[in-house]
Structures are given as structure tokens and as C-alpha cells.
A = this chain, B = another copy of it.
Amino acid sequence: MNPLDATRGMMDGLGTEANVCVKCGSRSIGLCAPLDVAALDDMSGESERLSLDPRDAIFHQGDAARYVYTLTEGMARMTRVLPDGRQSVIGFRFAGDLLGFTPGAEHAFGAEMLTRGTVCRLDRRRLEQLFRRYPVLERRFLDLCVKELAASQDHILALGRFNAEERVAAFLVSLAEAQERRGRPGPVFDLPATRADIGEFLGLTLETVSRAISAFRKRNWIRLHGHSGIELTDRESLIGLGSGEGSCAA
């Protein structure tokens, strides 16, 4: 398991059930999976589908948390801003992932699209009703949440203990794994996040991310295809660097 796995979506590892969310029309992996058809109908009754462009906000930090979102198409980032303007990317989300679920009154972070895409939003009070009607759904959320927590702890470990190249290597590997889990096996995959996004996620500057990527390129570990395509040509080396088997060998 990759120690830097915060690009893992909330829906990962929850089986391959592929019930179709009536309103979204997309495979709503995970969230709806344990529900029967009546429940799905119930659920999509009040959900809305929205199309978004790159850089569009799905919701802002501090917004009233009225809705819960499912990213049905595209890739998004979650960001948190400090009072002085410094900001950090908390994580990324892919098609099929859940977004913005909180028991609090406000969203603790913002979410923006990196690519063109669509989200399906469900009123939160409606979700609470669904929890009461279908208790299994609540259990699903608990499992998701604990997995997400484990991913955050991996990220904490990476931020606290990995150097720049280790962080970038771990990020690239986890990005590749995330896309493969979502059924894109090709050797070339999408990297819609800019160097600045990656840097804000990894606690680095965009220049440092760029230098790490250039170093990998020079070692023939990766190959770039245009601005948003990347291929891992020596994944073993990247995994070795990015999984904490590095310098301080025990």
C-alpha cells in the first residue's frame, strides 16, 4: 500500500457493485451500492445534476453545508485557506467519489474542478432522512469516513517525513493507481493538476515539483505527453522511492 494515498477517493475499495443512480445516469459506485432499486429511486428523487468547467467551484470553504455531492465526471481538488491567504490542497477527487459530506453547519474546505465535469448534488436533510430509512447507508458512510481518515494519516506521514522527490514519486504512483482503479489501464494517464496544485498538496513549491519531475524524466522513470499526459515507464523505481524504503534504511 502506498503511504501517500490521499488521492485515494472516498469510494475506493468498496467493492465493484455498479448500481446506476437513476438521476445521475452514472455508475454510482459505493454510495448507492447497498441500496435496492426503491431506495435508489428515493435518493435520486431530489438530486440535481450540474455541469462544471475547469476552475469552477463546487462549493466554497465556509459555505452552508446544504448539499452532499458525488463527482460523476472529471477531477476536482479540495482546498483549505488560512486567514493570511496561504492555501493548501487537502486532496483530489475523481469520478465516483463523494464530496462535501460533513455533520457540521459549514464546509470546512472548498472544492474546485480541475477538468470539465459533472456533479450530482443531494440535499443534506434528504440524506439524513435516507439514513433513518436505510440504516445500511449510514454504515457505508462510516466505512468511507474511516478509510478517508487512514488516507489522511498516510498523507500526514508523507508531509512530515518524506523529502521532495519521495513525495512527488508517491503522488504520481497513487494518481496512477487511482485512475487504474477507475478503469483506465493505459500506460499514459491524465495529470490535470498543475505543478502549483501538486505543490500545494505536497507542501512544496511549484518549482520544486517541476525539478522532481524533471529529475524523474532524466532517469527515464516517466515520460510526459503534452501538458496533461504522463506515463510511468519505471514504476518500480517510483514505488521504491515513494513508499518510504529510502535513505535511512533500518
Contact = CB atoms under 8 A, between A and B. Distances in A.
A108 B150 CA distance: 7
B156 A246 contact: no
Interface string A237-250: 00000011111111
Measured as residues with beta carbon below 8 angstroms from the partner, the interface class of chain A is 35 or more
| Total copies of this chain within the assembly | 2
Given A152-B152, A250-B85, A146 B145 contact: yes
A3 B142 contact: no
B88 A142 contact: no
A160 B87 CA distance: 9
Interface string A137-162: 01101110111111011111101110
A156 B157 contact: no
Interface string A1-31: 0010010000000000000000000000000
A192 interface: no
Nearest to A154: B80
A99 to B, nearest CB: 13
Interface in A92-142: 101-104, 108-109, 131, 135, 138-139, 141-142
B152 A84 contact: no
A86 B145 contact: no
12 contacts: A3-B82, A6-B156, A88-B160, A90-B156, A103-B147, A138-B138, A145-B146, A149-B152, A159-B159, A159-B160, A160-B200, A160-B201
